[in-house]
Chains A and B, each alone.
Chain A
Amino acid sequence: MNLDFTVVPRMTDLLLWGVMWTVILSVLSMVFSLVLGAVFAVVRLSSYRLLRWPVQAISWVFMGTPLLLQLYVVYFGLAELGLNLNAFTAGVIALSLHFAVYNADIIRAGIQSIDTGQYQAARSLGVSHLQAMRKVVVPQALANVTPALGNMMIALLKESALVSAIGVMELTLSAQRAISQTFRPFEFYLAAAALYYALNLVLQQALRLIERRAALTR
């Protein structure tokens, strides 16, 4: 067997650069996907069919097709329309849209799962609509959806590796760069896997903290 892990430390800078951009890319996409997901959820619960329909169509398409294909379309397709995005922006847009659709489903279910009796009870105490939503409905919905949204964020972090296919310089692509210099795919893909695993553990810890806080507000 021909393995030499001493080549890995020599590429530390390159790999850490990759880690940094994976984190930046993922965090940005997480934030956008959550915001957009909330918007989609509200729209899908609204009574305006004209608003609801496009969002429904978007979620059907985004849920039924691979993320990789979506990435290609955002990157190459928008260029066809004259919108030349750099790979990073295209990656963030595709990841955000893709996960926003899933987040929207989770958030919508979370809102619907709140017993209407909770809202009515608040209103019968003389609390206003906004206060009832803010103090009673939203905290409960938040506690309900946090674990599922957390799982989505974990999936997002892993799926962010796909943006290497459109040439975004993140962890996977930096591993590939290291490989093209050293011809040692096993060592560097293993190193990349270990780094993703570590990022994943950190994210899981962070989510656990958030979940605990969300649960406490119940």
Chain B
Amino acid sequence: MQRVWIFFAQASLTTIKISGLAILLGLCLGFIAALSSLSRLTVVRWPARAYVSVFRGTPALIQLFLLYFGGLQLGLEMSPIQAGIIGLGINIGAYMTESIRGAIIAVDKGQTEAGRCLGLSRAQTMARVILPQAARLMVRPLGVNSVALIKGSAIVSTISVTELTYTAHRFISSTYKPFEMFILAAIFYLIIITLFMRLVQWIDTRVALKE
């Protein structure tokens, strides 16, 4: 049993690493796509809308397989971990786009007017006036997206990344003690998610401090 604990602890580190990097990738994509989706130009707006629609409209599992196995077929060789991070990141990026876009839209229109009336350009108004306010509104929804991603990261076990679910699955089949293994994996997931939610709360209070 001692040994099992160590395996699970190592597997949690993999889950944390994959989730963390995927969240970062998702945030980058989310910001780019959210700003693009608010553009005046159709050629900029359209790809962003398509990205959100396609990646929210299909299962993450299929996206992951398409990237990993389909990529291999097209000569795009990736390790399972790389494919896992990229696949999860692109997927959650589509959801994060909606969270970021929603936060930007939620900032009062008068703020844009005030910025523009002072002679600031659209970009300056966005950077100095709108985004700092939207940032406060997006912490929580992005936190929800990220928690979903941490749980969703279990799917990379299907391409043999040795994270928590893979490890639990392996021990379930070898020890035939599914409940013990489940409880063990569940404990690790619950710890990771609880700690992560603390982090989100901390960021939320930091960001909201000044008003």
Contact = CB atoms under 8 A, between A and B. Distances in A.
B135 to A, nearest CB: 25
Contact of B58 (A68, A73, A196): A196
B57 A66 contact: no
B61 A186 contact: no
B100 interface: no
A179 B158 contact: no
B168 A72 contact: yes
B132 interface: no
B152 A200 contact: no
Contacts of B193: 64
A197 B58 contact: yes
A80 B177 contact: yes
Interface stretch (A112-120, A124-132, A161-169, A205-213): A161-169
Interface in B158-196: 158, 164-165, 168-169, 172-173, 176-179, 182, 185-186, 189-190, 193-194
Contact of B179 (A65, A80, A165): A80
A189 B65 contact: yes
Contacts of A179: 69
Chain A interface size band reads 35 or more
Interface string B133-158: 00000000000000000011111011
Interface residues of B, number: 41
Dominant SS at the A interface? Answer: helix
Contact of A76 (B54, B65, B173): B173
Contacts of B173: 76
Contacts of A152: none
Contacts of A201: 57
Given A68-B165, A200-B57, A200-B58, A189 B154 contact: no
Interface string A130-172: 0000000000000000000000000000111110110000001
A69 B185 contact: yes
A193 interface: yes
A80 to B, nearest CB: 5
Contacts of A72: 165, 168-169, 172, 178, 182
A190 B190 CA distance: 34
Interface stretch (B35-43, B70-78, B110-118): B70-78
A161 B66 CA distance: 13
B59 interface: yes
A79 B176 CA distance: 10
A172 B66 contact: no
B97 to A, nearest CB: 16
B29 interface: no
Interface in B38-97: 54, 57-63, 65-66, 69-75
B62 A172 contact: yes
Contact of A193 (B63, B164, B168): B63
Interface of A: 1-3, 61, 64-69, 72-73, 76-77, 79-80, 158-162, 164-165, 172, 175, 179, 184-186, 189-190, 192-193, 196-197, 200-201
